[in-house]
Amino acid sequence: MPYERLPDPTLQMMRDHTPLSHFVCQKMGPGRVFHDVVVWRGTFTLEPKPVIASEQRPVVLADELHEGTVPEASSLREVGDLHLPKPGADIIVTGTARPFRERPERRWRCAVEVARGSELLARLELDATGPRRWEARSLGGIRPSEPEPTVGVPIRYELAYGGRFRDPASDPRAPRFLRWAENPSGTGFAPDAAAIAGRPAPQWEHPGQPVSSADPGGPLCGFGPVARHWRSRSRFGGTADAAWERKLREDVSQGLVPDYPADFDARFFHCAHPALRLPAPLAGGETVTLLGMLPDAARFSFEVPSSHPRVEVLAESGPWQALSPSLDLVHVDLDARRVCLVWRLALRPERGVLAAIADLEEPRAQTHR
């Protein structure tokens, strides 16, 4: 049975005069409240004082996998932009981390820091290693081999501890997979040591917590975007228990769009590593510092651009009002040497917003390139 006709968007006209990419869509929130959502994605150069790039990346319409078509087996290359605003902000870093001056290293320290003035808002430290493999120990068990020298380690969760394997007790015609819920795309999670001997071992690990066996536990390890079904996000998705499933079936039978679970938490929309999720949106002007990631600077800092969309909206009751979208994502792409910022504006239907006009509010010191 098809769903009942969805409500028409309230927003009838959108004029965007910014140089940024933008997209307008309708997204449902808890309680089946449909919001008109406007998303802006701005691409900036990766410099101490980033400027707007001449080529703007488009808004990302959906999550994009690194490889393959099986979400359970791949980490994310890009995270989709089309959702309701986050309570706070995310900092993600992708690309390849490279040691200073690209000297071959077996191991080095990488870190991301976010600060507002003298206040440290977030920090995540990880160790990168050269390629290594799981090797059997003479007294039993398994451990990673000594790392080979390397001039770069891709920031991918496939190179951290985790993974999944087929449950041998499951029906071969309908196999069930066991997975490490923090990172199902990684390496090392296996039924026994023999199953992974000779395979690639993690190249990312937490300082002071070296991976020494095929079952180390420990927290998620990485700087990139986290998929929605991984534990650090899915735990905010609400309780999908038997009662919720019964209600879902009832709603669908009546042509209603399934609602979120009653205990759904908007922190589900956050996509960064938990250590790089900020409790409030960014304002611009914060400092992001990268350590051990760029070959031309052992320590590199840049200022989050203060440029932002400024929006005037017209509701049924008038007059025009100014609104500020929230800045809730900073994505650093090391390989492309760019920074992407994402702003979001959600308009509830009861506001009756019919039209919106956006311009870029930009500091005088910042010029286009």
pLDDT tens-digit readout, 275-323: 999 999 999 999 999 999 999 999 999 999 999 999 999 998 889 999 9
- Structure letter (DSSP) for residue 146: P
Q: H helices of the chain, where?
A: 231-234, 242-253
Q: Are 262 and 67 in contact (CB under 8 A)?
A: no
What's the pLDDT at 364? 61
| pLDDT recorded at residue 71 | 78
Strand pairing category for 89-94 and 326-333: parallel
- What per-residue confidence (pLDDT) applies to 367? 42
**CA-closest candidate to residue 20, choices 363, 366, 365, 358:** 358
100 φ, ψ (degrees, to nearest 5): -55, 130
Structure tokens at 332: 């650093």
- Best CA proximity match to 116, nearest among 271, 308, 284: 284
Mean pLDDT for the chain?
Answer: 92
Distance (Å, whole) CA 148 – CA 199: 15
The pLDDT, as a whole number, for residue 366 is 45
Q: How does pLDDT run across 155-212, given as a tens digit for each residue?
A: 999 999 999 887 777 777 777 888 899 999 999 888 877 788 899 999 999 999 988 8
Residue 117, token pair as written in the block: 């003035």
What lies within 8 Å, CB to CB, of 241 at 6+ separation is: none
CA distance 236 to 154: 28
Return the beta strands (E) in 95-197 as ranges.
Answer: 96-97, 107-116, 119-129, 134-136, 142-144, 153-154, 161-162, 164-166, 177-179, 187-188
| CA 46 – CA 64 distance, rounded (Å) | 23
> Is-contact 332 93, C-beta < 8 A?
yes
d(CA 144, CA 133): 5
Is residue 255 scored above 90 in pLDDT?
no
**Alpha-carbon span 86 to 59, nearest angstrom:** 16
Average pLDDT over residues 29-40: 96
pLDDT at 1 over 50: no
Burial 159-180 (b: 16+ CB within 10 A, else e): bbbbbbeeeeeeeeeeeeebbb
Q: How far apart are CA 268 and CA 333, in angstroms?
A: 23
Q: What is the pTM of this model?
A: 0.93
User: What confidence category does residue 3 fall into, taking pLDDT thresholds of 50, 70 and 90?
Assistant: low
The band of 69, judged by pLDDT with boundaries at 50, 70 and 90, is low
